[in-house]
Structure 1
Amino acid sequence: MQPGKLTLLLLCFCLAGSSALAQKKNANYQYHIKRATAAIKIDGVDDESDWQRADSAASFFLVLPMDTSFANVKTTVKMTYDNNNLYVVAICYKGKLKGQNMVESLKRDFNFVKNDNFLLFMDPFDARTDGFSFGANAAGAQWDGTMYEGGKVDLSWDNKWSSEVKNYPDRWIWEASIPFKSIRYKKGIREWGINFSRNDLKSTEKSAWAPVPRQFPTASLAYTGTLVWDEEPPVASSNVSVIPYALAGLTKDYQAKTSTDWRTDIGGDVKVGLTSSLNLDMTVNPDFSQVDVDQQVINLNRYELFFPEKRQFFLENGDLFANFGYADIRPFFSRRIGLNAPIRFGTRLTGKIDKNWRVGVMDVQTGQSGSNNLPGQNFGVLTLQRRVFSRSNIGVMFINKDATGSAPNTGSTAAAYNRTIGLEYNLASSNNLWTGKLLGLKSFSPGVTGHDYVQAAHLQYLSKYWQLYLQQQYVGHNYNAEVGYVPRVGYNKLSPLLLRNFFPKSGSVLVHTLQLSSSYFFDEHYKRTDNESTLSYIITFHNRSQLWFSGVDTYVKLLRPYDPTNTGKAMLPIGFESHWNTADVQFISKPQSVFTYVFETAYGGYYADGTKLTLSSQLGYRFQPYVNIAVNASYNDLRLPQPYGHNKFWLIGPRTDVTFTNSLYFTTFVQYNEQARNMNINTRLQWRYKPASDLFVVYGDNSIPSPFSVKNRQLTVKWTYWWNI
Structure 2
Amino acid sequence: MIHKLFFCLVVLFSSAFAKAQTTPTLPKEKVPDSILKKTEQPVIPVSVKKVDSLLKKTDTITAKQLVKKSQPEPDSLVINRKKYKATRVTTVPQIDGQPFEKFWDNIPVGNNFVMVEPTNGQKERDTHKTEFKIAYDDNALYVAAYLYDNDPDTILRQFSQRDQIDVQADLFGFFLNTYNNQINQTRFFATSANALGDAIAEGGREDFSYNVVFKSETSIGHRGWFVEMKIPYRTLRFPEIEKQDWSFQIFRRIRSLNEEYTYNFLDITQGIGTQYDAIMTGVENINPPLRLNLYPYATVIHDRFDGVNTTQYNAGMDLKYGINDAFTLDASLIPDFGQVAFDQVELNLGPFEQLFGENRAFFNEGTDLFNKGNIFFSRRIGQTPSGFNNIDVFDDEDIIDNPSNAQLLNAVKVTGRTAKRLGIGFLNAITEKTEATIENNNSGERRTVVTEPFTNYNMFVLDQQFSKNSSIALSNASTIRNGSFTDANVTAIVLDHNDKNGANNYNSEIKMSNRFTPTGTETGYAGELNWRKTEGKWRQRLGYFFRDKNWNPNDLGRNFRNNTQTIAADLSYNQFTPTGIFNRFDVDLRLRHRRQMDPDLHTNTDITLNPFFFTRERLAFGADFVLYSRDLDQFESRKTGQVVRYEPGYFTGGFISTDYRKKFAVDFRMGRFKRFDDTEESYDFNFSPRYRFSDEFLLIYRLSWNKNDNRISYVTTDGVEPIVSRRDTHSVENTISGTYNFNNKQALSLSFRNFWSRATFSRDFNELANDGSVLESDYELSEDFNPDANFNVWNLDLSYRWRFAPGSEASLLYRNSIFNFDNQGDIGFQDSLVELFTQPSRHNVSLRVTYFLDFNDAKRWFKA
What TM-score comes out, normalization by structure 1 length? 0.88
Deviation at residue 680 of structure 1 after TM alignment:
0.9
Query: What is the aligned partner in structure 2 of residue 434 from structure 1?
Result: 504
How far apart in 2 are the matches of 1:48 and 1:526?
73
Of 492, 505, 528, the match for 1:456? 528
Deviations 1:350-382 (A, max 9, x none): 101224200011111111222482112101111
Deviation at residue 635 of structure 1 after TM alignment:
0.8
Counterpart amino acid of residue 706 in structure 1: V
How far apart in 1 are the matches of 2:660 and 2:536?
23
Of 107, 130, 134, the match for 1:75? 130
Counterpart amino acid of residue 665 in structure 2: T
Q: Is the 8 A contact 1:26 1:224 kept in 2?
A: no
Query: What is the aligned partner in structure 2 of residue 126 from structure 1?
Result: 180
Q: Which has the higher mean CA deviation after the structures are superposed, 605-614 or 621-630? A: 605-614
Query: What is the aligned partner in structure 2 of residue 414 from structure 1?
Result: 485
How far apart in 2 are the matches of 1:141 and 1:502?
33
Deviation at residue 60 of structure 1 after TM alignment:
1.0
SS at match of 2:668: strand
TM-align CA RMSD = 2.7
Query: What is the aligned partner in structure 1 of residue 240 from structure 2?
Result: 187
Query: What is the aligned partner in structure 2 of residue 408 from structure 1?
Result: none
Deviation at residue 431 of structure 1 after TM alignment:
5.9
Deviation at residue 430 of structure 1 after TM alignment:
4.9
Q: Is the 8 A contact 1:249 1:715 kept in 2?
A: yes
Counterpart amino acid of residue 107 in structure 1: Q
| Identity fraction in percent | 20
How far apart in 2 are the matches of 1:561 and 1:146?
39
Deviation at residue 140 of structure 1 after TM alignment:
0.6
Query: What is the aligned partner in structure 2 of residue 722 from structure 1?
Result: 852
State how 1:556-595 maps to structure 2 within 5 Å.
556-561=631-636, 574-595=643-664
* 1:611 aligned onto 2:681: yes
Q: When the two structures are aligned, how many residues end up with a matched partner?
A: 677
Of 472, 477, 491, the match for 1:394? 472
How far apart in 2 are the matches of 1:141 and 1:562?
51
State how 1:57-76 maps to structure 2 within 5 Å.
57-72=110-125, 73-76=128-131
State how 1:91-170 maps to structure 2 within 5 Å.
91-94=146-149, 99-112=153-166, 114-148=168-202, 150-170=203-223
Q: Is the 8 A contact 2:249 2:262 kept in 1?
A: yes
Query: What is the aligned partner in structure 2 of residue 552 from structure 1?
Result: 626
Q: Is the 8 A contact 1:24 1:222 kept in 2?
A: no
Deviation at residue 414 of structure 1 after TM alignment:
3.2
| Higher RCO, Cα 8 Å, sep 6+ | 2
* 1:206 aligned onto 2:271: no
How far apart in 2 are the matches of 1:23 and 1:390?
15
* 1:335 aligned onto 2:379: yes
Counterpart amino acid of residue 238 in structure 1: L
Counterpart amino acid of residue 109 in structure 2: S
Query: What is the aligned partner in structure 1 of residue 297 from structure 2?
Result: 245
Change in 2 beyond 3 A, CA 1:41/1:26: farther
Change in 2 beyond 3 A, CA 1:504/1:214: closer
Q: Is the 8 A contact 1:132 1:145 kept in 2?
A: yes
SS at match of 1:370: strand
Q: Is the 8 A contact 2:76 2:502 kept in 1?
A: no
How far apart in 2 are the matches of 1:435 and 1:517?
18
Q: Is the 8 A contact 1:23 1:390 kept in 2?
A: no
* 1:380 aligned onto 2:458: yes
Larger radius of gyration: 2
* 1:465 aligned onto 2:580: no
Query: What is the aligned partner in structure 2 of residue 29 from structure 1?
Result: 82
How far apart in 2 are the matches of 1:683 and 1:290?
11
How far apart in 2 are the matches of 1:503 and 1:428?
21
Of 530, 541, 560, the match for 2:604? 530
Q: Is the 8 A contact 1:21 1:430 kept in 2?
A: no
How far apart in 1 are the matches of 2:346 and 2:115?
37
Change in 2 beyond 3 A, CA 1:635/1:39: same
How far apart in 2 are the matches of 1:377 and 1:115?
47
Change in 2 beyond 3 A, CA 1:298/1:104: farther
Deviations 1:618-649 (A, max 9, x none): 33322343112222321112232796565431
SS at match of 2:435: coil
Deviations 1:640-677 (A, max 9, x none): 27965654311111101121111112211101111241
* 1:712 aligned onto 2:842: yes
Deviation at residue 61 of structure 1 after TM alignment:
0.7
Of 324, 327, 330, the match for 1:278? 327
Change in 2 beyond 3 A, CA 1:345/1:22: farther
Q: Is the 8 A contact 2:456 2:479 kept in 1?
A: yes
Query: What is the aligned partner in structure 2 of residue 689 from structure 1?
Result: 804
Q: Is the 8 A contact 1:105 1:622 kept in 2?
A: no
* 1:487 aligned onto 2:569: no
Deviations 1:271-315 (A, max 9, x none): 110111101112211112333334567868664555432322223
Query: What is the aligned partner in structure 2 of residue 410 from structure 1?
Result: none
Change in 2 beyond 3 A, CA 1:113/1:717: closer
Query: What is the aligned partner in structure 2 of residue 9 from structure 1?
Result: none
Q: Is the 8 A contact 2:568 2:592 kept in 1?
A: yes
Deviation at residue 502 of structure 1 after TM alignment:
4.4
* 1:324 aligned onto 2:396: no
Q: Is the 8 A contact 2:136 2:283 kept in 1?
A: no
Counterpart amino acid of residue 689 in structure 1: F
Q: Is the 8 A contact 2:165 2:191 kept in 1?
A: no
Counterpart amino acid of residue 381 in structure 1: M
Change in 2 beyond 3 A, CA 1:230/1:159: closer
SS at match of 2:141: strand
How far apart in 1 are the matches of 2:264 and 2:570?
30
Counterpart amino acid of residue 178 in structure 1: I
How far apart in 2 are the matches of 1:299 and 1:59?
55
State how 1:353-364 maps to structure 2 within 5 Å.
353-364=418-429
Counterpart amino acid of residue 366 in structure 2: N
Change in 2 beyond 3 A, CA 1:450/1:297: closer
Change in 2 beyond 3 A, CA 1:37/1:21: farther
Q: Is the 8 A contact 2:351 2:635 kept in 1?
A: no
Unaligned runs of 5+ in 2: 1-72, 384-404, 437-449, 713-724, 758-790, 820-832, 856-864
Query: What is the aligned partner in structure 1 of residue 690 from structure 2?
Result: 620
How far apart in 2 are the matches of 1:640 and 1:516?
30
Deviation at residue 505 of structure 1 after TM alignment:
7.3
Deviation at residue 427 of structure 1 after TM alignment:
1.5
How far apart in 1 are the matches of 2:359 and 2:496?
25
Deviations 1:15-56 (A, max 9, x none): xxxxx9999954630111102343300111112223122122
